[in-house]
A and B are shown apart, each in its own frame.
Chain A
């Protein structure tokens, strides 16, 4: 496509998008006012199910199906990365070299790792009460493990990160979400309905299925991100091309 053609296409697309955006925005309530028709209803519904964090209630109760799809997006993305970044013919795996780390960084890592891990688990477990939840906490847990890579070396990380169990955890987390939804159906309700006892507002066990779904997402995200980062790190640290230069197949194999 010529430069002129591209510009024309862009101008048309930009005009249509601008018209649609402006058309959608003029009807919106003003920014920063106290008029929140959707928010009021969502908070009301959240309190009815004893879920203190209204956002968690929207994500895992009122709109639980949306979150299932969102979780599946990450699941599919991790799967795609694992398939694309696998070791292919002509690549060899070399064992990672031990690395020298300054004692100060080592101490800091050893100190921070348990704290970060605990914060991540806390964010998952308190998703129904305070900001956070399975997604945010899962990412914190996964990245916390990688402090070991910063504080020690890749071999240390690989020792606490056998990929098999994390791949299984990824699948189990995804499956647990669907099974929870199906269990509600078996109990005579609708898919992903909040059928568990709601408990007392503000306690760790309140919110019914929100707690279960949060845990499922937390497991899926933590394991998924660990696997995702592992495929990237393996490519950088371990996997090498057999011989530099003469590999005509490189283009096709990716």
Chain B
């Protein structure tokens, strides 16, 4: 029986999706969005939709968060004064994006 697995995946999706909405900091949101993508991937695998799961894994948990992170980085640098307090949070991503 895969039903308990589907239930667990559904709860995971609900929790991560709510967390993504409630999080107000874009960088953290991107990370949570990535987890939401993973949760959705699990759900799709459990309901036997591997094709959709593959798309979700590639786009939802890798591509979209990456584009958000890059955008945040660019915007933060264009307006340094307003985003100064977030610089510390952004630091991990900075090292990556600078290269």
The reply to whether B73 and A133 contact each other, CB–CB distance below 8 Å, is no
Select one of A32, A131, A136, A149 contacting B58, CB under 8 A. A136
**Nearest-CB distance from A128 to chain B (Å)?**
12
B70 contact from A131, A133, A236, Cβ within 8 A: A236
B63 at the interface (CB under 8 A from A): yes
User: Could you tell me if B54 and A153 are in contact, using CB atoms closer than 8 angstroms?
Assistant: no
CB of B19 to closest CB in A, whole Å: 22
Contacts of A101 in B (CB 8 A): 99
Report which residue of B3, B53, B62, B74 has the largest number of chain A beta carbons within 10 angstroms of its beta carbon: B74
Q: Are B99 and A99 in contact (CB under 8 A)?
A: yes
Residues of B within 8 A of A135 (CB): 55
Given known pairs A32-B3, A232-B70, A236-B74, the reply for A153 and B99 (CB within 8 Å) is yes
Take A143-B63, A232-B70, A232-B71 as given contacts and tell me if A131 and B97 are in contact as well, using a CB distance cutoff of 8 Å: no
| CB closest residue in chain B, given A130 | B50
B98 CB contacts on chain A under 8 angstroms:
97, 99, 237
Interface residues of A, CB < 8 Å — how many?
32
Please, which residues of chain B bring their CB within 8 A of the CB of A153? 99
B interface footprint on A218-235 (CB within 8 Å = 1, 0 otherwise): 000000010011001101
A210 adjacent to chain B (CB < 8 Å): no
A-side contacts of B78, CB under 8 Å? 241, 250
Q: Classify the secondary structure of A's interface with B.
A: helix
Would you list which residues of chain B between 51 and 66 have a CB under 8 Å from chain A? 51, 53-55, 58-59, 62-63, 66
Say whether B51 contacts A55, CB under 8 Å.
yes
The yes or no answer to A129 lying at the interface (CB within 8 A) is: no
Q: Which residue of B lies closest to A250 (CB)?
A: B78
- The reply on B15 being an interface residue by CB < 8 A is no
User: Which A162-185 residues have a C-beta within 8 angstroms of B?
Assistant: none
Q: A153-B99, A232-B71 are in contact. Are A131 and B66 (CB under 8 A)?
A: no
Segment 39-97 of B: residues with Cβ below 8 Å from A: 50-51, 53-55, 58-59, 62-63, 66-67, 70-71, 73-74, 78, 80, 96-97
Given known A136-B55, A143-B63, contact A131–B74 (CB-CB < 8 A): no
The answer to whether the Cβ of A154 comes within 8 Å of any Cβ in the partner chain is yes
